[in-house]
Amino acid sequence: MSDAHDLQRFSVDPERGFLPAKDPARLLPSEFSAWEEIAADLPKLLATRRLKLTLDRLPILDPSPLEGAERERAMLLLSFFGHGYAWENWREAINERIPAGVAVPWYQVSQALGRPPVLSYASYALNNWRRLDPTRPIELGNLALLQNFLGGLDEEWFVAVHVAIEAAAATALAAIWRAQAAIASDDSNALESDLRTIAVALDAMYRILRRLPENCDPYIYYHRVRPYIHGFTEHPVVYEGVDAYRGQPRAFFGETGAQSTIVPALDAALGVEHSSDDLRIYLTRMRDYMPIGHRAFLGAVETRPSIRRYVLNSSASSARLREAYDDCLQLVRDFRAKHLEYAAAYIQKQSQSGAYNSTTYGTGGTPFMKYLKKHRDETARHAIGTSQTIDSPDGLPNDEPRLPLKVPRDSVPSGARVTPAPESPGSRSAGDRRWCSRSGRASASRRRPRRRSR
């Protein structure tokens, strides 16, 4: 079976990675024109605070004929409606009920997709773009969003940066898969080449991340973009008309880049383990918010041969192989370091406005500064070094805490409130909780990405 075929089984496209293989659907069939009309007006309805009134009158449409890209579009529209409804007056309060015209089809579509009925990264970023020039690549300068909350340059750019990073990561995902096959056939030259490809992709991802401040201002992000992507962990909402929920409020996490499968896949491929903390528990929970295929890809990468162990143990482990591995680690560390800077500038350093937009907790509910920093440092600590003597099985210093990568599903901190998982095919038993509040081988070349000044 070819690598490309292998990847496609997980809805991973060899050229586009976790982005859909075809550009996202832009319009639903005419039976859904009521949704499309509201979606087109959503920024205006939010600006005038008329969205709630409008959605309260929305009839319940049956989304069951929709499949594939159209089903994803339905999920996208309903997620924007649900969050717009809940957070329309975010400075004062959350609407703790979602009307049946939104809630019922939202629940149905979410179950078909195997994700919870909440705005997740898959809808906010992966399926929310179009190319202005369809003959040009998926890259900054050629991307426009299909759906906005308020709209404007900062919101456009914030999401476009995520999409462009996803596109740049595609070659790394394909190289991860090949690298693990190279280990199985004990081909250290191929492994080294694949690690170099991963490094080139990581370098491209970093360069895109670094461009975020060009058009996304921290103040605007905090006040105009972030409020609508919060979830419902702190303030569970009732999904009216959804029989399965029996009128009980549901708490789901909000949208976050932590629901992207790229960094977890890199951690898994490079054997980067994080000792137990709130963010690690949270990251494991985020898998339930990823598309089913991407979750399965992550699981497969975790069970395939370990790149780290091979580099540590192989007699063929030349200085070049170690250097190639360490380059990748360094680049993941750099990505986390830049991301940490953004978390500080775009959230922590903002002066808190209202009770529903915390500067201390992430939309995922983690006290993020401490943990994002720890994850950055833990990444760096996995460096092997070209002359290091390996005296422990995982190559970490012997005093390093060794905890399993997988977090037990029930390892929720005491006092946490747990609600049932999305009842979806292929979804594991998971609950959301409120324990805090955020509110080609690209070039098969052996070229190393140029070192940046940091």
Helix 292-303 vs helix 262-270: crossing angle, to nearest 10: 10
The smaller minimum CB distance to ligand HEM, of residues 188 and 357, is found at: 357
CA pseudo-torsion sign 238, 241, 246, 251: negative
Among 347, 384, 396, 407, binds ligand HEM (CB under 6 A): 347
CB of 253 to ligand HEM, least distance (A): 8
Q: Degrees (nearest 5) of the Cα angle 360, 436, 226?
A: 55
CB of 357 to ligand HEM, least distance (A): 12
Under the binding rule (CB under 6 A), the answer on residue 61 touching ligand HEM is no
- Which of 408, 139, 430, 88 lies closest to 259 in space, CA to CA? 430
H or E segment at 167?
Answer: helix 153-184
The smaller minimum CB distance to ligand HEM, of residues 12 and 182, is found at: 12
Among 127, 233, 284, 366, binds ligand HEM (CB under 6 A): 366
Where are any strands of DSSP class E within 106-161? 129-131, 143-145
Among 107, 221, 228, 356, binds ligand HEM (CB under 6 A): 221
User: Binding segment for ligand HEM among 17-25, 133-141, 316-324, 339-347 (CB under 6 A)?
Assistant: 339-347
CB of 63 to ligand HEM, least distance (A): 28
* Residue with the shortest CB distance to ligand HEM: 362
The smaller minimum CB distance to ligand HEM, of residues 7 and 165, is found at: 165
Sorted by sequence, the CB contacts under 8 Å of residue 209 that are 6+ apart come out as: 161, 165, 335, 338, 339, 342
Give the interface size with ligand HEM as a residue count (CB under 6 A).
Answer: 27
Q: Residue holding tokens 């979606």?
A: 39
User: Binding segment for ligand HEM among 15-23, 318-326, 341-349, 392-400 (CB under 6 A)?
Assistant: 341-349
Among 227, 365, 395, 449, binds ligand HEM (CB under 6 A): 365
Among 63, 84, 101, 362, binds ligand HEM (CB under 6 A): 362
The smaller minimum CB distance to ligand HEM, of residues 107 and 124, is found at: 124
CB of 199 to ligand HEM, least distance (A): 18
- Which of 395, 389, 433 lies closest to 414 in space, CA to CA? 433
Q: Exposed (0-12), middle (13-18) or buried (19+): which is 63, by Cβ within 10 Å?
A: buried
User: Binding segment for ligand HEM among 21-29, 234-242, 298-306, 342-350 (CB under 6 A)?
Assistant: 342-350
**217, 104 Cβ separation under 8 angstroms:** no
Q: How far apart are CA 396 and CA 386, in angstroms?
A: 14
Under the binding rule (CB under 6 A), the answer on residue 364 touching ligand HEM is yes
CB of 344 to ligand HEM, least distance (A): 8
Where are any strands of DSSP class E within 184-260? 238-239
Among 438, 439, 442, 449, binds ligand HEM (CB under 6 A): 438
Sorted by sequence, the CB contacts under 8 Å of residue 298 that are 6+ apart come out as: 261, 264, 265, 268, 287, 290
Under the binding rule (CB under 6 A), the answer on residue 108 touching ligand HEM is no
Under the binding rule (CB under 6 A), the answer on residue 339 touching ligand HEM is yes
Q: Residue holding tokens 């009216």?
A: 240
Q: How far apart are CA 75 and CA 115, in angstroms?
A: 10
Residue numbers 237-266 binding ligand HEM by CB under 6 A: 256-258, 260, 263
The smaller minimum CB distance to ligand HEM, of residues 241 and 299, is found at: 299
Under the binding rule (CB under 6 A), the answer on residue 161 touching ligand HEM is yes
Q: How far apart are CA 69 and CA 234, in angstroms?
A: 32
Binding site for ligand HEM (CB under 6 A): 161-162, 165, 209, 212, 221, 256-258, 260, 263, 283, 336, 339, 342-343, 346-347, 362-366, 368, 372, 375, 438
